[in-house]
Amino acid sequence: MILKNALNFSHALLQQKVQPGNAVIDATIGNGHDTLFLANLVGRKGHIIGCDIQADAVNHTKQRLIDANITLASLTLTDKGHHHITDLVPSALHHKLTAAIFNLGYLPGGDKEITTTSKTTLAAIEQLLKIMPTGGLIVLTVYDGHNEGKVERRDLYAFTNQLPQDKYAVLNYQFTNQKNNPPMVIAIEIK
């Protein structure tokens, strides 16, 4: 099948954008799968900033990188929320900030009551749009199989689709004939 699921599609977008030595953000590190994927793209000289409000997510991600023998010149993992992006990304890295990925919802295997929210996710996106250079890419995988996810999807869809087309390219990708709330990928590229 040539049509990719949401995870593979988001990774394909990142593969096209991220180069060795780039700075990237994993805005919802969860169990560390995307952080590991990004580490392999940026290489030893790259910089990853990863955040998640749950300390368990930070610990899982650190362990995943250790288990994979990944060492980076610069790695920042924190249990601060993604709405603190401006505080987490040093201004010296703004011009190298190539991509950011969000996997929204709750921590797989964790407490399903702790979820991302529209308020914090929109705040993070607005900050990224201000600090990322031309060509920067934001990839959001939106899981809406729970109540907060439905609100977040609605709000993100409305926000991203009103972004001016002369400054941003916005893509929505989702299988529309699948059961059980298939995730949607929203990609924003800064022109």
Is the pLDDT assigned to residue 114 strictly greater than 90?
no
Instruction: Determine the pLDDT at residue 145.
Output: 82
Percent of the chain beyond pLDDT 70? Answer: 100
Average confidence (pLDDT) over 75-88: 95
Q: What is the pLDDT of residue 181?
A: 87
Domain assignment present for residue 2? The answer is no
List the domain range (segments joined by +) for residue 91: 20-190
Tokens of 148: 């907060």
Residue type at 167 in one-letter notation: K
Is residue 113 domain-resident? yes
User: What per-residue confidence (pLDDT) applies to 89?
Assistant: 94
- Predicted local confidence at residue 172, as pLDDT: 96
pLDDT bracket for residue 163 (50, 70, 90): very high
Residue 111 has a pLDDT of 81
pLDDT of 144: 86
Whether residue 121 contacts residue 102, with contact meaning beta carbons closer than 8 Å, is answered with yes
Establish if 150 belongs to a structural domain: yes
Evaluate whether residue 12 is within a structural domain.
no
Express each pLDDT in 6-50 by its tens digit: 999 999 999 999 999 999 999 999 999 999 999 999 999 999 999
Please report whether residue 1 resides in a domain.
Answer: no
Total domains present in the chain: 1
185 occurs within a structural domain: yes
> Does 146 score more than 90 pLDDT?
no
Assess whether pLDDT exceeds 90 at residue 112.
no
Q: Is residue 11 part of a domain?
A: no
- CATH number for 34: 3.40.50.150
pLDDT at res. 83: 96
The pLDDT score that the predictor gives to residue 35 is: 97
The amino acid present at 117, given as its one-letter code, is T
Average pLDDT, the chain: 93
181 in a structural domain = yes
Sequence-distant (≥ 6) Cβ neighbours of residue 24 within 8 angstroms = 14, 18, 38, 41, 42, 46, 47, 48, 49, 97, 98, 99, 100, 101
